[in-house]
């Protein structure tokens, strides 16, 4: 969708005038004052009152607002954990400054999904300031989760790489799997990492006959819990290397520079093997980190870089029923191209990734 | 006999009319949302409080175009995929 014109971004339409929320005066939420001229009217204006969700949304939507307080969309805890785990406490203030400057714009408020589209697609009302119960996929979800999830799901990674079967064949959107409850509330055991706790959503929720008795696909039973579903059913996806951040001397604005951005498919040892994800093998994505990411904010801010793998557990959103690796047993078994072997890892990251590197590619099986 | 036929006919008519499609409900006047009050120079001071200038301006495309600040051209300094 083309970016909205400046006037269009703030045009209140009939949709809002018919919305139950319009019963409240504008000033009640946005501050400012009643005046004919813009300057006076906008004095003290609060652009996004839902930054204080408890005050402005909590009266009516108490349960959701209460749950949202610890949601990863709100806290962005994943960034903190991933960064601090590679550092030491005395470096945390400098890292926090860096993350406030460069990462916190991803923090999401109620209005960021239900009233407006994010700045990454130009901002502006979704529907004339009406509250949109189910945020539209491409104007909200993939506007933020675009370069990886969005491109994979919608098939924007090149003609040879189809989009996800759930989108191509069923036109499912994000909330078909990621329910509003999932998005608003992060389970208690996953508040520091989205891949902790139960798989949510899980493939089995819909495909509950997979691996069950009577499943006609014997490979499902053979592999059981040994491999993550995506190992057989996803295709090439995006990885990124470093993301160096700094403040521009010219404009004073924060900026980033990511190094390589590439497509590939890498099966590695599962770094999150537990009762919820018991798989021995999982697909791994390189995340945009290297030891010098935050050098602008201080020297050697990630002294424990090697404590955390840079090839991470991943769930590419480009599921296919048939993939190159599931055409036959030996399309995968013995095919070292598919596996994250040591030669595919940067020498300076070998220690960090020793737990996920595949030393011995599963050998070929007889009879194909 | 005539009376019997007449009675039978009446019963049949009543019975058939029961199967007829229901009459459409009387049209209810659609309630238009309260139109924004236009801000005019002629409003008396004691009426000013009733005017919602926020809605008046933000529902007026021309007023928004006239008042829009030109968008700053942001020089993209970041490189690579975010």
State the ipTM, two decimals: 0.84
Spatial separation of the C-alpha atoms in residues B61 and A347, rounded to whole Å: 59
Spatial separation of the C-alpha atoms in residues B75 and A251, rounded to whole Å: 9
Q: Is A221 a member of any domain?
A: yes
A17, A147, A253: residue with CB nearest B81: A147
Q: Is B2 a member of any domain?
A: no
Q: Is A43 a member of any domain?
A: no
What is the pLDDT tens value at each position of chain A, 368 positions in all?
Answer: 778 999 999 999 999 999 999 999 999 999 999 999 999 999 999 999 999 999 999 999 999 999 999 999 999 999 999 999 999 999 999 999 999 999 888 889 999 999 999 888 889 999 999 999 999 999 999 999 999 999 999 999 999 999 999 999 999 999 999 999 999 999 998 999 999 999 999 999 999 999 898 999 999 999 989 999 999 999 999 999 999 999 999 999 999 998 888 999 999 999 999 999 999 999 999 999 999 999 999 999 999 999 999 999 999 999 999 999 999 999 999 999 999 999 999 999 999 999 999 999 999 998 55
Q: Is A277 a member of any domain?
A: yes
Taking contacts as CB-CB distances below 8 angstroms, the residues of chain A near B67 are 38
Best A256, A263, A293 member to test B by mutation, with max B CBs in 10 Å, is A256
Q: Is A37 a member of any domain?
A: no
A105 touches chain B (CB under 8 A): no
Q: Which domain holds residue B45?
A: 34-72
Q: Is B13 a member of any domain?
A: no
B36-67 residue pLDDT tens: 333 334 344 444 557 899 999 999 999 999 99
A26, A36, A147: residue with CB nearest B55: A26
Q: Which domain holds residue A164?
A: 48-107+145-349
Extract long-range pairs of A201-210: CB within 8 Å, 24+ residues apart. Answer: A201/A177, A203/A229
B61 touches chain A (CB under 8 A): yes
Looking at the 3D structure of chain A, how many domains does it have?
Answer: 1
A27, A35, A255: residue with CB nearest B78: A255
B51, B70, B77: residue with CB nearest A253: B77
Q: Is A123 a member of any domain?
A: no
Cα Rg, chain A, nearest whole Å: 23
| Chain centre distance of CA A6 | 29
Looking at the 3D structure of chain B, how many domains does it have?
Answer: 1
Q: Is B15 a member of any domain?
A: no
Shortest Cα distance, chain A CAs vs residue B51, angstroms: 8
Give me A79's structure tokens: 């960034």
Task: Tell me the sheet residues that pair with A255.
Answer: A246
Q: Is B25 a member of any domain?
A: no
Q: Is A283 a member of any domain?
A: yes
Spatial separation of the C-alpha atoms in residues A232 and A227, rounded to whole Å: 8
Spatial separation of the C-alpha atoms in residues A197 and A191, rounded to whole Å: 9
Best B54, B65, B71, B79 member to test A by mutation, with max A CBs in 10 Å, is B54
- Strand, coil or helix: A193: coil
């Amino acid at each position: 969708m083309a970016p909205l014109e400046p006037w269009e971004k703030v045009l209140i339409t009939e949709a809002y005038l018919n919305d139950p929320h319009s019963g409240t005066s504008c000033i009640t939420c946005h501050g400012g004052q009643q005046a004919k001229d813009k300057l006076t009217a906008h004095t003290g204006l609060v652009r996004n009152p839902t930054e204080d969700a408890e005050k402005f949304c909590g009266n009516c939507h108490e349960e959701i607002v209460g749950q949202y307080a610890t949601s990863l969309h709100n806290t962005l805890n994943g960034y903190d954990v991933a960064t601090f785990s590679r550092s030491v406490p005395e470096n945390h203030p400098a890292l926090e400054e860096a993350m406030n400057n460069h990462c916190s714009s991803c923090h999401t408020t109620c209005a960021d999904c239900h009233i407006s589209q994010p700045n990454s697609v130009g901002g502006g009302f979704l529907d004339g300031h009406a509250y949109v119960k189910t945020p539209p996929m491409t104007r909200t979800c993939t506007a933020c989760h675009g370069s990886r999830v969005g491109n994979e799901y919608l098939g924007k990674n090149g003609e040879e790489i189809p989009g996800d079967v759930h989108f191509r064949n069923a036109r499912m959107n994000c909330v078909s799997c990621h329910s509003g409850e999932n998005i608003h509330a992060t389970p208690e055991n996953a508040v520091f990492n989205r891949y902790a706790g139960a798989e949510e959503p899980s493939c089995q929720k819909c495909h509950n006959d997979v691996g069950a008795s009577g499943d006609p696909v014997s490979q499902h039973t053979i592999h059981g819990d040994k491999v993550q579903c995506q190992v057989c059913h996803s295709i090439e996806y995006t990885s990124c290397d470093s993301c160096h951040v700094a403040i521009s001397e010219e404009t004073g604005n924060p900026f980033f520079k990511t190094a390589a951005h590439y497509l590939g498919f890498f099966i590695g040892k599962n770094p999150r093997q537990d009762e919820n994800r018991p798989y021995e093998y999982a697909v791994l994505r390189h995340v945009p980190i290297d030891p010098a990411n935050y050098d602008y904010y201080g020297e050697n801010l990630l002294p424990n870089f090697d404590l955390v793998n840079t090839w991470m557990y991943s769930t590419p959103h480009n599921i296919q029923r048939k993939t190159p690796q599931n055409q036959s047993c030996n399309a995968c078994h013995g095919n070292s191209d598919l596996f994250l072997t040591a030669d595919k890892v940067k020498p300076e990251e070998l220690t960090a990734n020793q737990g996920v590197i595949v030393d011995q590619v599963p050998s070929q099986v007889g009879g194909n | 006999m005539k009376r019997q036929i007449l009675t039978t006919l009446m019963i049949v008519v009543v019975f058939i009319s029961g199967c007829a499609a229901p009459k459409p409900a009387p049209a209810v006047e659609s309630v238009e949302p309260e139109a924004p009050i236009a801000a005019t120079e002629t409003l008396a001071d004691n009426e000013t409080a009733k005017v919602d200038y926020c809605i008046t301006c933000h529902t007026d495309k021309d007023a928004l175009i006239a008042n829009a600040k030109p968008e700053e051209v942001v020089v993209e300094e970041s490189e690579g995929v975010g």
